[in-house]
């Protein structure tokens, strides 16, 4: 992130140091001598890893992520001048606090490991309000389980948009209130996954995401490693 200029910043206005570079969008739209395949793949990995770290490890999510808010340059202070991504316009952020962050890690971790029923139960258990009956809750959890089963060999992070649509539909149908933190984090995953896929279509998303999930579980003292089926996929 660019350095905030605290002498010019208030609760209403965020002022950050000017960053030189070019928009990430330039790398998304074209592959040429200045935007090579290698550079595109490197940026995809940097971007996805950064967002996963924000969500799972740092509990600090940039809530307005899009290619226009990502500026690319080269870090001339490091040998080889590797690519660097600056995430600007950080006026909208999500920070949960330890209790809610633990819940988010549990829910997203369950979805990434294809434990749909467990993820559904966690969504209900962490909701501030649920008007659904006991049958509604059971059907909601089974619905989330079916989404994961039907997704086959894919993964939550590779189909976030479809997951969010289906989960919101089930939540409305069965009167389960979804927490805003889950939606915000899922949307951040969706935007970055879409961007990473455009830059690096063959990228194995879970190879980046899974270590973050495991670190977050260890950080919060949680248990529950992925099943052998998960490890064997892709």
CB 203 within 8 A of CB 155: no
What is the Cα–Cα distance from 105 to 58, expressed in whole angstroms?
11
Report pTM: 0.78
CB 144 within 8 A of CB 167: yes
Q: What is the pLDDT along the chain (234 residues), one digit of tens a residue?
A: 888 899 998 888 888 899 999 999 999 988 888 899 999 999 999 998 998 898 888 888 887 888 888 999 999 899 888 999 999 888 777 788 888 888 888 888 888 888 899 999 999 988 767 777 889 999 999 999 998 888 766 667 777 777 888 999 999 999 888 888 888 888 888 888 888 889 998 888 878 878 888 888 888 887 654 443 433 343
Please report how the helices 37-53 and 180-199 are oriented relative to each other, as an axis angle in degrees rounded to 10: 170
């Amino acid at each position: 992130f660019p350095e905030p200029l605290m002498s010019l910043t208030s609760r209403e206005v965020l002022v950050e140091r000017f960053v030189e570079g070019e928009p990430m969008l330039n790398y998304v739209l074209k592959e040429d001598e200045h935007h090579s395949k290698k550079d595109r793949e490197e940026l995809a990995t940097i971007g996805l890893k950064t967002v996963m770290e924000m969500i799972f490890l740092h509990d600090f999510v940039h809530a307005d992520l899009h290619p226009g808010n990502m500026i690319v340059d080269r870090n001339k202070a490091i040998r080889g001048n590797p690519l660097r991504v600056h995430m600007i316009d950080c006026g909208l952020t999500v920070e949960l606090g330890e209790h809610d962050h633990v819940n988010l890690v549990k829910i997203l971790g369950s979805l990434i490991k294809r434990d749909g029923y467990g993820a559904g139960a966690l969504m209900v258990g962490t909701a501030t309000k649920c008007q659904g009956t006991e049958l509604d809750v059971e059907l909601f959890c089974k619905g989330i389980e079916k989404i994961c089963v039907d997704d086959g060999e894919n993964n939550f992070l590779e189909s976030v948009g479809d997951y969010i649509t289906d989960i919101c539909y089930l939540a409305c149908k069965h009167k389960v209130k979804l927490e805003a933190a889950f939606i915000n984090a899922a949307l951040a995953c969706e935007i970055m996954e879409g961007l990473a896929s455009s830059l690096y279509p063959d990228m194995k998303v879970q190879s980046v995401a899974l270590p973050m999930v495991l670190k977050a579980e260890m950080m919060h003292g949680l248990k529950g490693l992925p099943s052998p089926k998960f490890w064997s996929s892709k």
